[in-house]
Amino acid sequence: MRPIIDIDHISKRYGSGTAALNDVSLQIAEGEILALLGPNGAGKTTLISIICGLVVPTEGTVRVGGHDIRSDWRAARKLIGLVPQEIALEPFEKVIDCVRFTRGLYGEPPDEPYLESLLRSLALWDKRDAKTRELSGGMKRRVLIAKALSHRPKVLFLDEPTAGVDVTLRREMWSVVRELRAQGVTIILTTHYLEEAEDMADRIGVINRGALLLVKPKDELMGEFGKKRLTIALDAPLAALPAGLAGRGLVLSADGRELGYDYDTRAERTGIAHLLADLAGHGLAVRDVSTKESSLEEIFMSLVEEETA
């Protein structure tokens, strides 16, 4: 299937000389949720701004729905909605007027039934006549989403949608995003909250210092880099690891009460059964065992650190 977004060898050097993106290529399929992760200044906003036609790339091309964003910008831009990082709303304007106005900017004729369903789906219909300055921060963010969706785009960009938003509102935003995806909207979000990417994205792209380090389906990424740590609580503390157990990858905790063992979740044989038998063979009584999977946060940190090293 033809991708809805086709980014081909994009580079961007700002006038100041900063190389913000370096030869980035990426295809995004219709209907997917892609999360772009990366530390501050990695180039995420620059990439989104290029696709949305707000920043001109130094090299490379981008097509949205088959339309080149430069030579065919009008058609490309109609397919896109952008929810910016910063909340910028006209304080004295009514919610409904704000959304109507944005729709008009795209050259779309009025469609009140659509705007009603949009505001209802974002739980803003009751607030349609409120001035935007009277709204809570979470509602203001939802108004930004309503504006971005006012012309029925096929692709929605969310640049840090939940930055500075509390946990309840964050979850509310996630459910809005899931609903949009169920309606077939392709969603590209940037986030600093790895939990958010872990919870929502179909695919995850990691950007660092202007380069796309990888893009993978989330499950594959978690499987490939994911390790599990087995923690074995001992009945009696050990002063040192018995010599016969050396070289098995076991790590004794400082208080001597626990043994840690990292293993690959994808390995056919994890060696755990043997390990436990060996412990018993050395006279160690096990009180409890528990496992913990490495989180996306740990995977992300190891990728970025590896690259910086």
Ligand X SMILES: Nc1ncnc2c1ncn2[C@@H]1O[C@H](COP(=O)(O)OP(=O)(O)OP(=O)(O)O)[C@@H](O)[C@H]1O
Which burial class, exposed, middle or buried, applies to 266 when counting CB atoms under 10 A from its CB (0-12, 13-18, 19+)?
exposed
Query: Between 38 and 65, whose beta carbon lies closer to ligand X?
Result: 38
How far apart are the C-alpha atoms of 248 and 260, rounded to whole Å? 11
Q: Does 205 bind ligand X (CB under 6 A)?
A: no
Q: Does 20 bind ligand X (CB under 6 A)?
A: yes
Q: Does 188 bind ligand X (CB under 6 A)?
A: no
Query: Between 135 and 206, whose beta carbon lies closer to ligand X?
Result: 206
- Could you tell me which stretch among 13-21, 95-103, 178-186, 260-268 binds ligand X (CB under 6 A)? 13-21
Query: Between 163 and 272, whose beta carbon lies closer to ligand X?
Result: 163
Buried b (16+ CB within 10 A) or exposed e, 189-209: bbbebbebbbebbebbbbbbb
Answer for which of 24, 35, 38, 81 binds ligand X (CB under 6 A) is: 38
How far apart are the C-alpha atoms of 201 and 215, rounded to whole Å? 12
Answer for which of 18, 25, 136, 290 binds ligand X (CB under 6 A) is: 18
Query: Between 42 and 245, whose beta carbon lies closer to ligand X?
Result: 42
Query: Between 90 and 195, whose beta carbon lies closer to ligand X?
Result: 195
Answer for which of 1, 16, 91, 168 binds ligand X (CB under 6 A) is: 16
Q: Does 14 bind ligand X (CB under 6 A)?
A: yes
Helix intervals (H) in 122-185? 137-148, 167-182
Query: Between 14 and 101, whose beta carbon lies closer to ligand X?
Result: 14
Q: Does 191 bind ligand X (CB under 6 A)?
A: no
Cβ atoms of 264 and 227 within 8 Å: the answer is yes
N-terminal to C-terminal alpha carbon distance within the chain: 38
Q: Please tell me the total number of residues recorded for the chain in this structure.
A: 309
- Enclosing H/E stretch for 305: helix 296-308
Amino acid making up residue 304: V
How far apart are the C-alpha atoms of 61 and 56, rounded to whole Å? 10
Pairing of strands 59-64, 67-68: antiparallel
In a 3-state reduction of DSSP, which class is residue 205? strand
Answer for which of 5, 33, 34, 46 binds ligand X (CB under 6 A) is: 46
Answer for which of 24, 33, 34, 43 binds ligand X (CB under 6 A) is: 43
Closest by CA position to 168, among listed 207, 197, 139: 139
- Could you tell me which stretch among 11-19, 112-120, 279-287, 291-299 binds ligand X (CB under 6 A)? 11-19
Q: Does 307 bind ligand X (CB under 6 A)?
A: no
Query: Between 156 and 232, whose beta carbon lies closer to ligand X?
Result: 156
- Enclosing H/E stretch for 215: strand 211-217
Q: Does 157 bind ligand X (CB under 6 A)?
A: no
Binding residues for ligand X (CB under 6 A): 14, 16, 18, 20, 38, 40-46
